[in-house]
A and B are shown apart, each in its own frame.
Chain A
Amino acid sequence: MTAPTQLAPGAALTAASGAAPPPRRPAAGWRRRERIIASLAVAPALLLVLAFMAYPVGYALWISLHRSNGVRYEWLGLGNYIDLLGDPLLHQVFVTNLLFLVAVPLVIFTAVICAVLLHERIRGWKFFRVLFFVPNVLSTAVVGLMFKTLFSYRGPINAAIVATGGQPIDFFSQAGTSIFVIVMALVWSGFGYQTLILLSGLSSINPEMLEAATMDGAGWWKRLWYITLPSIRGVLALVTILNVLYTFTSLFGFIFVMTAGGPGYDTTTLDYLIYTLAFSSSNLGQGAALAVLVFLLIGGLTLVQLKVFRLSDGEES
C-alpha cells in the first residue's frame, strides 16, 4: 500500500532529468508543478508541528540548563539536573509514582477477563463492550471528581460502610487510602479501552486451532491457558507498555482534582511535580529539567520493555 507514494519522488526525478519518460506519465513541467502543490499542501501542518511541538522540545532542553523565572536566564549547565537528582522530595515522588504501578496489573487482569468473556459472544456482548467503554470518553477531571464524590467523607461509600456497622473513613487524609482511591479511578477509567485492544487481538486467533484442541479433548481452561493467552502475547505486551507509560505521564488530571498532591506530598506524582515546579516556584528551569528526565525515563522504559517482551517472544517477529 505504501509503495506508490514512496516511489513517486523517484519517478518524478527520472522524468525531470529527461531520461526516457515512461508512458502515460505527465510532462516534466506538470510533474514539478504537482510537487510544488504537494509541498504547499503539507506546509501548514508541518509549520505548526515544527513551531508548537518540535521547537518547544528544544526550548525545554535549553530552559532546563538555566535558572529562570521566565524572563531572565542564568546559565547553570547541568545544575538543575544535579539538584533534582539529589533532592529527597524527588526520590519520595518517584517512589509514590512506583506505587501507582499497582494499577497496571489490576487494569490488565480485569481487561483480560472481560475480553476473554466478551469474546465468547455472551448475550448482549456488544452492549457490554460499549458500556465498558463509557469511562474512556470522560475527562480524567470528571472521573477524578466522580471518585472524589463517591469516596468523600459523607459520600455513598462511607454511607455503605456505616450502614454495615463500620466507622466512616476519611479517605483523602492519608497517603495509603488516597492512593487506593486514585488507583480505583485509574482501573475504572482504563480497563475498557484495554479490553477493546485485547478483543481485537483475540479475534485474530485462528478458530480452527481452538476447534482442533477441543477435538483433542482440551477443556475451556486448558485452551485458554495454552492457546488463547499465548496467541495474544504481543497484544498483552503492548497493553502493558501503554499502561506503564500512562502511569508516568497521565495522572495529572486525577491528582489535580482529587488531592492536589496532598496530604503533604504524599500523592504527588512526577507529572504533577512538573506542574508544581513550573508554576509555583521561582525556577522554571527545574520544572523543565524534570520534564526532560521523565521523558528520558519513559523512553528508556519503553525500550527495556520492548526488549524484554521480544526476548520471551520466541516465534514472533
Chain B
Amino acid sequence: MSETSSTLSKRSRTPIFLALCLVAVSIAFPVVFIGSSAFRSKADYLLNPFGLPESLTLENFVALWNNYGIGRALGNSLTVIAVALTLQLLIAGLAGFAMAKLPVPGVKYIRAGFVLVMLVPGQVLIIPTYLLLSNLGLVGSLQGLMLVYIATGMPFAVFFLSVTFRTLDANVLEAARIDGAGFWRTFLSVAVPMGIPGIATLAVLQFLAMWNELLFAYILLPNDQLRLLTPALAQIGGRFTSDQTLVSAGLIISSLPPLILLALASRYVMSGLGASLGR
C-alpha cells in the first residue's frame, strides 16, 4: 500500500471502492451468466433464466462437438494460427532486427510505408483480397487465410519488433560478429533470446487478433468443412437464436483461450496493447 496516493481522504475511499465494485460486477455478470447457462439444459434455462441452475450438464458441449462440427472448427483455427503466427514472427523478426540494427537501404521509406498501411481499414481490403486469392485459387483453403493473416498483421509486427530490437546492446552484437558469428547465428542465438519479452508480448497480441478475427475468416472460407471457430460460432448464434444454452457453450469455448491468456499474461497483454496505440 506504499503506492497509495494521499490525495483522497480515507473516508471517501470506501464509496469509490464500492463504485468500482459496481463496474466490476457489470463486467463480470454477462461472463458469469453465459458461463453458468452453458452448463444448463435448455428446459432448465427456460424455466428461469435468471436463477441458479437446478443441475449441471455437459450436454451443450457434447452437442456442439458431435452435431455442429465445433471440434473440427477448433482444429482449423489452431492450425491456421499456429502456422500463421510462427511464420509471421519469423518474418517480422528478421525484418525488425535488420531495420533496428543493420544498414537497410531506404529504411526510412520502408518504415513510413508500414505505418501508412497500418492506417488502412480492413473494409478496403476485403473485396480486392477476395478477388486476388480467388485468382490464385486460394479461396476456400486454409493457406489463403494464413497468408492474409501473416500479411495484415505484418506492419504492426515489424514495427513492434524493430522497437524491441533497437534496445539491444550494440556491443554484444559487435562481440558476436568479432567472434565470427554470421547473420543467422547473431539473429537466432543473440538477438532472439535477448528480445524474448517483446516477442512474447507480440505473440500474445497477434494470437488474440487472429483468434478473434471474423470477417476474413468468414469470407475466405465459405466451406463448412473449413470453418474456423469464431465464424462457426457466429453462424450457430445466428441460426439457432432460441437455443441459448447451446450458444452459451459455444461462447465459452471460444472465449476461454483469450481469458486464460489474459489471466496468465495480463502484464504482457496490457503493456503490449498500450504500445499498439498507433494501430
Q: How far is the CB of B138 from chain A (nearest CB, A)?
A: 11
Residues of A within 8 A of B117 (CB): 49, 53-54, 57
Among A44, A117, A145, point to the contact of B95 (Cβ < 8 A): A44
Q: Which A residues between 206 and 247 are near B, CB-CB below 8 angstroms?
A: 207, 210, 214, 220, 223, 238
**Mask: chain A, 275-317; 1 = CB below 8 Å from B; 0 = not:** 1001100001001100110110011000000000000000000
Q: Given A35-B103, A51-B151: A137 and B262 within 8 A (CB)?
A: yes
Contacting pair A220 B125 (CB below 8 A) = no
Contacting pair B98 A114 (CB below 8 A) = no
List residues of chain B with CB under 8 Å of any chain A CB.
1, 3-5, 7-8, 12-13, 16-17, 19-20, 23-24, 26-28, 30-31, 33-34, 37, 46, 48-50, 91-92, 94-95, 97-108, 110, 113-114, 117, 119-132, 134, 147-148, 150-152, 154-155, 158, 166, 170, 183, 208, 211-215, 218-219, 230-231, 233-234, 237-238, 241-242, 244, 247-248, 250-251, 254-255, 258-259, 261-262, 266, 269-270, 273-274, 277
Among A119, A145, A298, point to the contact of B234 (Cβ < 8 A): A145
Q: How far is the CB of B223 from chain A (nearest CB, A)?
A: 15
A82 at the interface (CB under 8 A from B): no
Interface of A is mostly: helix
A147 at the interface (CB under 8 A from B): yes
Contacting pair A49 B97 (CB below 8 A) = no
Q: How far is the CB of B88 from chain A (nearest CB, A)?
A: 9
Q: 8 closest pairs, A vs B, by CB?
A: A52-B151, A139-B212, A38-B102, A45-B95, A41-B98, A56-B128, A59-B128, A8-B103
Contacting pair A56 B121 (CB below 8 A) = no
A70 at the interface (CB under 8 A from B): yes
Quick check: which of A87-95, A97-105, A173-181, A248-256 contacts chain B, the rest being far away?
A248-256
When chains A and B are docked, how far (Å) is the Cα of A38 from the Cα of B162? 13
- Classify chain A: how many residues form its interface, as a range: 35 or more
Contacting pair B102 A142 (CB below 8 A) = no
Not counting A52-B152, A119-B5, A197-B274, a sample of 12 additional A-B residue pairs whose C-beta atoms are within 8 angstroms of each other reads A57-B124, A59-B131, A114-B23, A120-B5, A123-B1, A131-B24, A133-B269, A137-B258, A188-B27, A260-B238, A271-B123, A291-B127
Residues of B within 8 A of A137 (CB): 208, 212, 258-259, 261-262, 269
Contacting pair B270 A257 (CB below 8 A) = no
Give 15 pairs: A residue, B residue, CB < 8 Å, sorted on A. A5-B100, A5-B101, A9-B103, A9-B104, A37-B102, A41-B98, A42-B104, A48-B147, A121-B4, A133-B269, A139-B212, A139-B254, A142-B254, A145-B250, A284-B127
Residues of B within 8 A of A192 (CB): 27
Contacting pair A159 B50 (CB below 8 A) = yes
When chains A and B are docked, how far (Å) is the Cα of A59 from the Cα of B128? 6
Q: How far is the CB of B3 from chain A (nearest CB, A)?
A: 5
User: In chain A, what residue has the closest Cβ to B267?
Assistant: A130
Q: How far is the CB of B164 from chain A (nearest CB, A)?
A: 12
Residues of B within 8 A of A291 (CB): 121, 123-124, 126-127
When chains A and B are docked, how far (Å) is the Cα of A92 from the Cα of B78? 40
Contacting pair B27 A131 (CB below 8 A) = yes
Contacting pair B94 A274 (CB below 8 A) = no
User: In chain B, what residue has the closest Cβ to A128?
Assistant: B20
When chains A and B are docked, how far (Å) is the Cα of A138 from the Cα of B16? 27
Contacting pair A57 B125 (CB below 8 A) = yes
List residues of chain A with CB under 8 Å of any chain B CB.
1-2, 4-6, 8-9, 11-12, 31, 34-35, 37-39, 41-42, 44-46, 48-49, 51-57, 59-60, 63, 70, 110, 113-114, 117-125, 128-142, 144-150, 152, 154-156, 159-160, 163, 188, 192-193, 196-197, 200, 207, 210, 214, 220, 223, 238, 249, 252-253, 256-257, 260, 271, 274-275, 278-279, 284, 287-288, 291-292, 294-295, 298-299
Contacting pair B214 A253 (CB below 8 A) = yes
Q: How far is the CB of A260 from chain B (nearest CB, A)?
A: 7
Residues of A within 8 A of B234 (CB): 141, 145, 253, 256-257
Contacting pair A120 B273 (CB below 8 A) = no
Q: How far is the CB of B230 from chain A (nearest CB, A)?
A: 5
| Residue among A139, A146, A155, A274 facing the most chain B CB atoms (10 A cut-off) | A139
Contacting pair A196 B126 (CB below 8 A) = no
Residues of B within 8 A of A9 (CB): 103-107
When chains A and B are docked, how far (Å) is the Cα of A48 from the Cα of B48? 53
Residues of A within 8 A of B122 (CB): 249
Contacting pair A12 B92 (CB below 8 A) = no
